[in-house]
Amino acid sequence: MQTKFVIIAALIASVAAPGCKKFAAGINVSPNSPTAASNTQLLTSAISYMPVVIEGISGAMYTQQWAEKPYTDDSRYITVNFDFSGIYAGPLENLQTILANKTFNSNEGSKNNQLAAARILRAWFFWQMTDRWGDIPYSDALKGNGNLAPKYDAQKDIYAGLLKELKEAAAQIDDGAGVGGDLLYGGDMGQWKKFANSLRALMALRLSKIDPATGKTEFADAIAGGVFTDNSDNAVYVHLADPVNQNYWYYVADVQNRQWYWISQTLTDYMNPLQDPRLPIFADPASSTGAYAGVPYGLDGDAIAKVSTSKVSWMGEHVRAQNAPCFISTYAELLLAQAEADKLGWLPGGDGDAALKYKAAIEASVRQWVRNSFKGGVVDDVEKTSYDPADEGDTTGLGAYLARPEIAYDPANALKQIAYQRWVHLYMNGYEAWAEWRRTGYPVLTPAPNNNNIPIPRRQGYPSSEPNINTNNYKAAVQAQAGFGGKDDLNGRVWWDKP
């Protein structure tokens, strides 16, 4: 026993001796616990956050696509401050890590393609944020400990940066291997290029009132670069029939059984008289009447309690399905943008081409929502881009809908018609619908009743933590935005939201 202790002591002494060799580096590092994520993992994670942004409820409430019952805080504009830290610390940080990498694994796609996809996604997230809050940290953001108090960039400068970023990213895409971990396009870089150019066109249209000259130039250039040409180009996030990656609204409606969000009467009152074929997808018929009837928008607690649940329409089974797709950016929306650009003189087609684009947009929207059946969360039949009323007996009702005089293109009311079709098409993408409502003024909406004359929000307030953790830059941002009137509330107008 004594010999054993001597041996152990000798070993300890030899390890601790100043002149001894150290163990090889990494000998105690577990190979099953990596310290860095691959670009593939980072890209997948960032893409997975896109539905989190889109599925936020406030935009759908502000544009009255949805109504609330029994709780009505969002539709009565109670919440003022909204947090953006999750976007910075989640997808944006992941994308910035890709862009800052010094080495690239060729098995995850060519270096150029990895960088291009990350840049396109980063531009999309920043676009979503600036349209909600206005000026935000942009050029100083994502620097970690290098800058814990980033300045806020003017939205005008952010837009210029994002338009430039998308154009450069599209040009950076090469013929090398497509990106791995791509939940949108499966590594098809041709689709990524169309996605970048389509986003740039939609972003350029946002400048229609504040800077139409720049908007016109950017829009035409983006279209010329190659954009979506049918529904198969749509940027779609496919949820799975699996709790790990399921549709959020399935979790709310079917798992939690929270019947809080309903289609609004504002929307059903518009769609019902037109016999819009998308309505049965958007909503379920009322259980007691079999009719499609929305919940009156923005009622207070006492008034909403008197609305019979059996007489109003719950969110549609298709849109709340566990594996329902989340449409991020679509061909129909781009066609509507092109129709508006024709009408504005940004494209040379005039009313003739605007009418064709408008009709094609409605066809694409109905095919997206109705004609294309949902199979495992993926739409099929997308190769058909022209409409034949005799095709399969017109089971969607599209032919009858297009034939209605209220729907037929009218040059005198074209901008209004385009805007209303965009509002309907962007169902479930409330923040995008809200941005377009602010820009165009359509649809014509009335604020929540008996609500102290509070208007419909035109922005969202900065996170309540910002005055404490980024005090000086926060104050400067609020004061710098003339449309805010020195207040961080829901009423200030972002830069492009010109009265």
**Structural domain spans, the chain:** 83-227
Q: What type of residue sits at position 44?
A: T
- Whether the per-residue pLDDT at 392 is higher than 60: the answer is no
Both tokens of 183, joined, read: 């939940």
pLDDT of residue 446: 97
Q: What is the dihedral of CA 60, 63, 69, 75, to 10 degrees?
A: 110
CA gap 349, 347 in Å, rounded: 6
pLDDT grade for 350, boundaries at 50, 70 and 90? very high
pLDDT of residue 370: 87
- Whether the per-residue pLDDT at 332 is higher than 90: the answer is yes
- Whether the per-residue pLDDT at 7 is higher than 80: the answer is no
Query: What are the CA-CA distances from residue 121 to residues 45, 101, 102 (Å)?
Result: 11, 16, 20
**Class of domain 83-227 as given by CATH:** mainly alpha
Is the preceding peptide bond at 34 cis, omega within 30 degrees of 0? Answer: no
For strands 325-329 and 374-375, give the pairing: unpaired
Contact 300, 72 (CB under 8 A): yes
Contact 43, 98 (CB under 8 A): yes
Within 8 A by CB and 6+ apart from 103, the residues are none
Rounded percentage of the chain residues whose pLDDT exceeds 70:
88
What mean pLDDT comes out for the span 134-162? 96
Contact 287, 259 (CB under 8 A): no
Contact 143, 150 (CB under 8 A): yes
Contact 428, 321 (CB under 8 A): no
Instruction: Give the distance, in angstroms, between the CA of residue 404 and the centroid of all CA atoms in the same chain.
Output: 31
Contact 425, 361 (CB under 8 A): yes
pLDDT grade for 397, boundaries at 50, 70 and 90? confident
pLDDT of residue 27: 57
pLDDT of residue 373: 46
Q: What type of residue sits at position 227?
A: V
What's the start-to-end Cα distance of the chain, in Å? 91
Kindly provide the residue ranges of all beta strands, DSSP E only, lying in 217-274, ordered along the sequence: 235-238, 261-263
pLDDT grade for 380, boundaries at 50, 70 and 90? very low
Both tokens of 166, joined, read: 């998308």
pLDDT of residue 26: 55
Least confident of 5-19, 236-250, 430-444: 5-19
Report field, pTM of the whole predicted structure over 0.95: no
pLDDT of residue 157: 98
pLDDT digits (tens, 9 = 90+) for 61-73: 999 999 999 999 9
Helix axes of 93-100 and 111-133: crossing angle, nearest 10 degrees: 150
Average pLDDT, the chain: 90
CA gap 47, 42 in Å, rounded: 9
Element (H, E) at 222: helix 212-225
Torsions phi, psi for 301 (to 5 deg): -60, -45
- Whether the per-residue pLDDT at 39 is higher than 80: the answer is yes
DSSP state of 310: G
Residue 429, SS3 per DSSP:
coil
CA gap 127, 134 in Å, rounded: 10
What mean pLDDT comes out for the span 70-93? 96
